[in-house]
Structure 1
């Protein structure tokens, strides 16, 4: 009796379908798959290297410093 039986899962699934509806659950699954795909693509992106990140942050800080000087 420690584990849920199949009937428990059927009841839970029926309640979830009643609350959210099949269309909304389909959209949720599609959006989740899309975000996982984008995350994997970002993890495999070869354009961003530590050298480029350092140079971008240096350029950004230089821009901020120049804008602060122009305000004074």
Structure 2
């Protein structure tokens, strides 16, 4: 007696779509799904450790690339001086 019927849910859904628009609702759904997926991934200790190792490796690769770029700039400057 006090529950919500399927017709009431459909009317509420229709009003929400009219107010917010379908594009905004789809992007909201994608964002929410990504957040839930990220949360679940962080709760799994094995995956979190793997991601941490990957992020450390990426950081090391980026720092090596920056160092190499700075060496190239210094070498280029030295060649101009000579």
TM-score (norm 2): 0.51
- Which residue of 1 is the match for residue 8 of structure 2? 8
2:78 is aligned to none
Greater RCO (Cα-Cα under 8 Å, separation 6 or more): 1
Q: Which has the larger radius of gyration?
A: 2
Please, what TM-score do these two structures have when normalized by structure 1? 0.57
Moved over 3 A (4+): none
* CA RMSD in angstroms, aligned pairs only: 1.6
In terms of fraction of residues, the more helix-rich structure is 2
Q: Which residue of 2 aligns with 1:42?
A: 42
Paired with 1:42 and 1:25, the residues of 2 have a C-alpha distance of 26
Q: Report the counterpart of residue 17 of structure 1 in structure 2.
A: 17
Q: Name the count of aligned residue pairs.
A: 48
Instruction: Please report how far the alpha carbon of residue 37 of structure 1 lies from its aligned counterpart in structure 2 after TM superposition.
Output: 1.1
